[in-house]
Amino acid sequence: MTSVISNDIDSGTRVGIDLGLSALADVPRADEPQKAKDFTSSQEVRWCPGCGDYVILATVRSMLPQLGLKRENIVFVSGIGCSSRFPYYLETYGVHSIHGRAPTIATGLAVTRPDLSVWVVTGDGDSLSIGGNHLIHALRRNVNMRILMFNNRIYGLTKGQYSPTSEVGKVTKSTPMGSIDAPFNTMSLAIGAEATFVGRALDSDRAGLTEVLLAAAQHRGSAFVEILQDCPIFNDGSFDALRKDGADSRLIHVRHGKAIVFGSDGELCVIRKGFGLAVAHTRDVDPADIVIHDAHTDDPEYAYALSRLSDQGLNYTVTGIVRQVARPTYDDAAREQVVRAKETTAGDLQQVLHGNNTWTIS
């Protein structure tokens, strides 16, 4: 019964989708310039003192005015967890939903409302444990939504159990002898699920985070953004290795079109090695061998190789926009089918109800 309608569907031509479109193409623009306080709701923010979520909230509030969208056309959807309180603190439309399911709600919304900028806020437990299935399928379908995954490598709201991104051996309330669960490499997971946009930033890196968020906002498709975030109560200093002395030689910040060189003096770089990539001392390699970052390459192998440089020990962590490619979105295609059906099929409901075989009794 299966028949392939067209094998050029990937090119976008068959489904009539302009791959050059911004995610914001159909979203009404604001009449006036906006400020961060325009996006600040009346709700008292109730995260713990010192929580990384505060700085993320501040960054998002100051990023949103830069998009210049009507406030009422922005929707934040979240799941359950500390980070999922996020929508309450933004003066936009918002849904604080149920554990792990935010991408599903965002999918229904994005498909039916192309005039909205849809954002999902989730955590490592919400999106990678209970909601893992929805995350990978949203990425696979490339639904037009931004998924901000706050990764603090711990369950905060339930008071300190290990999460699917916690390091092996981590001692928590539920793992007094150390965690025996192997963690996800989050970026590898997203790329493996066919994500078209993958980015990462540290909560405290306001400039880096803003750069990733602005690009994600405009990405037509599912944009996966991981934000490394500290939980001062249950996992304090989890990302200290990326913040304190020596962080320069651990953070591999990538920028499209630029050679991947890092360290306080650019003494480290990324080169090709075997089937993947490796970190090398810049002085030991021919400059021509240093990888030039290409976020736009369709082939996911490069992005995957890049993702593998990050590890649970935080010896190296890749940040920036790792992957940003165009692929038809599920919601555009779904709407296009409706348009095509309206063009090609009689829209007379009475006729459909009649079907082909009727009889009349008088």
Partner 1 sequence: MSSETTEPDSEQQSAEGASKLEQVVIRIAGDSGDGMQLAGDQFTAEAAAFGNDLATQPNYPAEIRAPQGTLHGVSSFQIQIAEYDILTAGDRPDVLVAMNPAALKANIDDLPRGGTLIVNTDDFTKRNLAKVGYDSNPLESDALDEYQVHAIPMATLTIGAVESVGIGKKDAERSKNMFALGVLSWMYGRPISAIEQFLEQKFAKKPDIAKANMLALKAGWNYGETTESFATTYEVAPAKLPAGTYRQITGNTALAYGLVAAGRAAGMDVFLGTYPITPASDILHELSKLKQFGVVTFQAEDEIAGIGAAIGASYGGALGVTSTSGPGIALKSEAIGLAVITELPLIVVDVQRGGPSTGLPTKTEQADLLQAMFGRNGESPVAIVAPQSPADCFDAALEAARIAVTYRTPVMLLSDGAIANGSEPWSIPDVDSLPAIDPRFAAAPHDAEQAGTHLPYARDPETLARDWAVPGTAGLEHRIGGLEKANGTGDISYTHDNHELMTRVRGARIAGIEVPDLVVDDPGGAADILVLGWGSSYGPIGEAVRRVRRSGHTIARAHLRHLNPMPANLGEILARYRRVVVPEMNLGQLSMLLKARFDADIQPVTKVSGMAFRADELHEVLLAEFAGTLATTEFAKTPAAVAAVVTR
Which spans of this chain sit near partner 1 (rule: CB under 8 A)?
Answer: 28, 41, 43, 70-73, 75, 77-78, 80, 87-88, 91-99, 101, 103-113, 115-116, 133-134, 137, 334-335, 337-338, 340-342, 344-347, 349-350, 352-355, 357-362
CA pair distance 3, 21, nearest whole angstrom:
29
CA pair distance 95, 99, nearest whole angstrom:
12
Residues whose CB is less than 8 angstroms from the CB of residue 293 and which lie 6 or more positions away in sequence, other chains included: 254, 255, 256, 257, 258, 259, 260, 306, 320
Judged by CB, which is closer to partner 1: 47, or 239? Answer: 47
Nearest Cα to Cα of residue 228 among 212, 245, 217, 249? 212
Judged by CB, which is closer to partner 1: 112, or 174? Answer: 112
Judged by CB, which is closer to partner 1: 99, or 272? Answer: 99
Judged by CB, which is closer to partner 1: 25, or 338? Answer: 338
113 within 8 A of 72, measured Cβ to Cβ:
no
Judged by CB, which is closer to partner 1: 95, or 214? Answer: 95
Q: How far is the CB of 18 from partner 1 (least distance, A)?
A: 20
Q: How far is the CB of 252 from partner 1 (least distance, A)?
A: 33
C-alpha distance from residue 303 to each of 84, 107, 216, 297, 324 (Å): 28, 25, 16, 8, 10
Q: How far is the CB of 97 from partner 1 (least distance, A)?
A: 6
Q: How far is the CB of 182 from partner 1 (least distance, A)?
A: 24
CA pair distance 228, 243, nearest whole angstrom:
11
Judged by CB, which is closer to partner 1: 221, or 320? Answer: 221
What pairs with residue 74 in β-bridges? 117
Q: How far is the CB of 128 from partner 1 (least distance, A)?
A: 15
Please give the helix or strand (H or E) that residue 333 lies within, else none: helix 330-344
Sign of the torsion angle spanned by Cα atoms 19, 24, 29, 33: negative
326 within 8 A of 13, measured Cβ to Cβ:
no
Judged by CB, which is closer to partner 1: 296, or 354? Answer: 354
What phi, psi does 81 have (nearest 5°)?
140, 175
CA pair distance 76, 90, nearest whole angstrom:
8
Cα angle 162-167-169, degrees, rounded to a multiple of 5: 85
Q: How far is the CB of 38 from partner 1 (least distance, A)?
A: 10
CA pair distance 308, 289, nearest whole angstrom:
19
Q: How far is the CB of 119 from partner 1 (least distance, A)?
A: 12
59 within 8 A of 204, measured Cβ to Cβ:
no
293 within 8 A of 162, measured Cβ to Cβ:
no
Judged by CB, which is closer to partner 1: 258, or 340? Answer: 340
Judged by CB, which is closer to partner 1: 96, or 243? Answer: 96
Q: How far is the CB of 88 from partner 1 (least distance, A)?
A: 5
